[in-house]
Amino acid sequence: MGKSVMLQGTASGVGKSLITAAFCRIFKQDGYKVAPFKSQNMALNSFITKEGLEMGRAQVFQAEAAGLEPDVRMNPILLKPTTDKKAQVILNGKVHENMDAQEYHKFKPQLESMIKDIYENLSNEYDIVVLEGAGSPAEINLRENDVVNMGMAKISDSPVIIIGDIDRGGVFASLAGTMMLLTEEERKRVKGVIINKFRGDIKILEPGIKMIEDIIKVPVLGVIPYSNLKIEDEDSLADRFRRKSSKEKGEVNVEVLYLPHVSNFTDFNVFETQEDVNLRYVMRGESIGDPDILIIPGSKNTIEDLIYLRESGLERKINDLHKRGKLIFGICGGYQMLGKKLYDPEGIECGIKEINGIGLLDIETTFEGEKITTQVEAVIQNNVRGYLAGLEGVKVEGYEIHMGRSTVGRNSRYLDKIIKRVEENTSELEGAINIEGNVVGSYIHGIFDNINFTRSLLNNIRKMRGLDEIESSVKSFKEFKEREYDKLANIVRSSLDMNKIYEILEGEE
């Protein structure tokens, strides 16, 4: 079996996902075959592998950092919250069932042998596995049957490094408190700690580093500065949604509605790479501004989020923008909401069997029990107009994750033709666009990652406003992300004692 190291945190949001990706990139740069692993991930951001299996996006960007095709073994358990009390349990990429917290807690002991087998299988193929924990190992109420923090460290027999976030304050107390709440056996696994998201003069921090080392009896392996990289870091989502666009003088305004059950909001990260775009997320209690493009994203509970739009007054604003000719674009659940009717005869979502949609697209959607999970390639149809004029024949790639099936009526047109599904040739019509060409919907997550499609759309908006077209300095979103992973690795490598990290890997500490 390969070597391993596990990164755990004092809390959620301290940077575990990003530092795991950094370790994967560093070890790859150093010539090792390395893979990420997180036994259990709770997230509404997911991805579909080439095999049609669903996994958390955090392990996807970590796999990309490691130079690998995402593999569902890297995230064998994915929990997708459906309500405040229930989550859809996905095992090895396939839906198992919906469970509440107590049901899942009782179910976890049955998962340990599966996790052990999958981890060992992965470890046998790679020189190094970088494991990521979830939340904090000091959640003492969850210690029993734990399979994601110290329980997983025991299964994999991995040394542990604990990460603390100094930006939120109280990093020394959180590190000391975490160590105090671990059992003696668990503390023996901890070989060092990392202080993350530091701003300021490191000299001022140095006395505290010496004192915390004396208290917790393990070394501080380094201090990583606060950085603003354009990477899908789930640990920094709150920062992303709070901050304003860094390009407030950009000519094109894109706004994304942040729904209560929003999913796959990483679909819109690409807009941050476009020099002329101001990207804003419209949070709960905020008003829609005056965007050129308003995006309704995917949702884990489409009907409840549609009701939220209606009761909050946002639906009325969406209709106002439509009347003014602005572009309304729905992805997956957002696409379904734009239709005339949504039917849920089996009560798959929330018990409401039928509801009117926003009514801007002539489509109707029925929810069915079997989830569609597939990668796709498609080409834009020849009959598009309006904002998509000139995009006929443009190729797009992405993936579908949905339980609804939508039919398109005579007053809308299909958006694209799927030509490949899970690497098999096909010919299926998908998505919809209204006759005027200012309301668009698609099930394809990642459609905006196709720079040719997105840049052409943005340039159409520029032409409508009398602005010159521009070319993107980012020719490929994939290549852009590769550069960001290298930047991340450089920051982390220069901030940590990598010799000590390798000693920990070798068991020489």
Task: Give per-residue pLDDT as tens, 89-101.
Answer: 999 999 998 999 8
CA-closest candidate to residue 496, choices 253, 196, 224, 182: 224
Identify the H or E element spanning 83. none
**H or E stretch at 6:** strand 3-9
- What SS3 class is residue 265? helix
d(CA 244, CA 235): 18
Q: Where in the sequence numbering do the catalytic residues fall?
A: 332, 445
* Annotation: CATH topology of 3-231+481-497: Rossmann fold (3.40.50)
Number of residues in the chain: 509
Per-residue pLDDT of the chain (509 residues; tens, 9 = 90+): 889 999 999 999 999 999 999 999 999 999 999 999 999 999 888 999 999 999 999 999 999 999 999 999 999 999 998 777 889 999 999 999 899 988 998 899 899 999 999 999 999 999 999 999 999 999 998 888 899 999 999 999 999 999 999 999 999 999 999 999 999 999 999 999 999 999 989 999 999 999 999 999 999 999 999 998 888 765 445 555 555 544 556 899 999 999 999 999 889 999 999 999 999 999 999 999 999 999 999 999 999 999 999 999 999 999 999 999 999 999 999 999 999 999 999 888 888 999 999 999 999 999 987 899 999 999 999 989 999 999 999 999 999 999 999 999 999 999 999 999 988 999 999 999 999 999 999 999 999 999 999 999 999 999 999 999 999 888 899 999 999 999 999 999 999 999 999 999 998 75
Contact 327, 256 (CB under 8 A): no
Residue 422: the pLDDT is 83
Sequence ranges of the domains in the chain? 3-231+481-497, 252-466
Query: Do 3-231+481-497 and 252-466 have matching folds?
Result: yes
pTM above 0.85, yes or no: yes
Quote the pLDDT of residue 35. 98
CATH architecture for segment(s) 252-466: 3-Layer(aba) Sandwich (3.40)
Give SS3 for 339.
Answer: coil
Interior CA angle at 157 toward 155 and 162, to 5°?
100
Look at the block and give the residue holding tokens 């690795």.
489
Q: How many CA atoms lie within 13 A of 223 on its CB side?
A: 17
